[in-house]
Chain A
Amino acid sequence: MIVGQQKPFDEIWEMVRGFKKVLVFGCNTCVAISHAGGGKEAEILASMLRMKATQEGLDMQVDNAAIERHCEPEFFEPMMEKVRSYDLVLSTACGVGVNFLADRIGDIPVYPGVNTSFYGAVPKAGFFVELCGGCGNCILHLTGGICPVVRCSKSLMNGPCGGTDKGKCEVSKEIDCAWYLIVERMKKLGTIEQLYTIQPPRNWSTGTHGGPRRLVYEHIMELEEEKKG
């Protein structure tokens, strides 16, 4: 799931203070689960902005709304007329949602209220942890299910660096050394021998280094095209 974190209030305020009519627009999927940008957080943020405006003596209208997902047009199209009546849309969706909405609206600014943090899991309430880098070239089957791309601070592919220390990373004692975890896990799985195979230099072009990525399922796209005739 995409994990996001609301931007510091002061930063948001600097973004929006020049506008007269602002819509704080929440997204009720990933960022809602990470308590950053769902309808509830949009309502809270709108309230705080209104108060800030009052304190600064600014005449500013701040409303809030939320939809299921910002990253698919059908959800926001019915609201487009309303959305367009604002000077600024402050989206609390992830970066995907902000981009997508901004592309669609075009002539009204769409600003981000949330920092999109990472792809993560939720081991317990209020605790989010990054487990995948979205690199587009998964090797978890070779590393005991532990991703060295994001869980190793240096994204090393062939074992730990010299900074590994009693299972911890030299970057911080709070971070587990991913390669220590990989070795322990693979011992348990009985696949430790696999580690003797040296991984060749990695092709990073499937990651964010090769330009914007897209994924196309033509057979699904065709169905919609057909319907439209």
Chain B
Amino acid sequence: MADVAEETAETLRSTPHSIIEKPHETPAAWEPNVLAFACHYCAFAAADLAGVMRLSYSPSVKIIRLPCTGKLDHIHVLRAFEQGVDGIFVAG
């Protein structure tokens, strides 16, 4: 175990600094813009139930309905990130 920990630490030390992204400062009151991809049959139904039960979550979450999360394409995720979405939630 100790060896593994040491190896990990060594890897981190020797990793060029540029690869590790610098954390950005987040402005106060910043809310991540989150896009959810939800399967019609389960996660979308769960999102409905959340509403029925009046559970509260951030209004910055928006949901796109898919017939099945198997339909999700890499490019959907990448496009959203490229457009500036902060997080993606895939549920199905």
B36-44, B59-67, B78-86 - the one binding chain A: B78-86
Q: Which residues on the A side are within 8 Å of B29 (C-beta)? A: none
The answer, among A51, A54, A55, for a CB contact under 8 Å with B78, is A51
Supposing A43-B75, A44-B74, A44-B75 touch, asked if A51 and B21 sit within 8 A by C-beta, the answer is no
Query: Which positions in B face A, CB cutoff 8 Å?
Result: 19, 21, 74-75, 78-79, 81-82
Query: Are the CB atoms of B82 and A55 closer together than 8 Å?
Result: no
> Which label, helix, strand, loop or mixed, suits the secondary structure of the B interface?
helix
Besides the known contacts A47-B79, A54-B82, 8 further A-B residue pairs in the complex with CB atoms under 8 A apart: A40-B74, A43-B75, A44-B74, A44-B78, A47-B78, A47-B81, A50-B82, A51-B78
10 A-B pairs with C-beta separation under 8 A: A10-B19, A40-B75, A44-B75, A44-B78, A47-B78, A47-B79, A47-B81, A48-B78, A51-B81, A51-B82
How far, in angstroms, from A55 to B74 measured CA to CA in the complex?
Answer: 19
Query: Which positions in A face B, CB cutoff 8 Å?
Result: 10, 40, 43-44, 47-48, 50-51, 54-55
How far, in angstroms, from A44 to B79 measured CA to CA in the complex?
Answer: 9
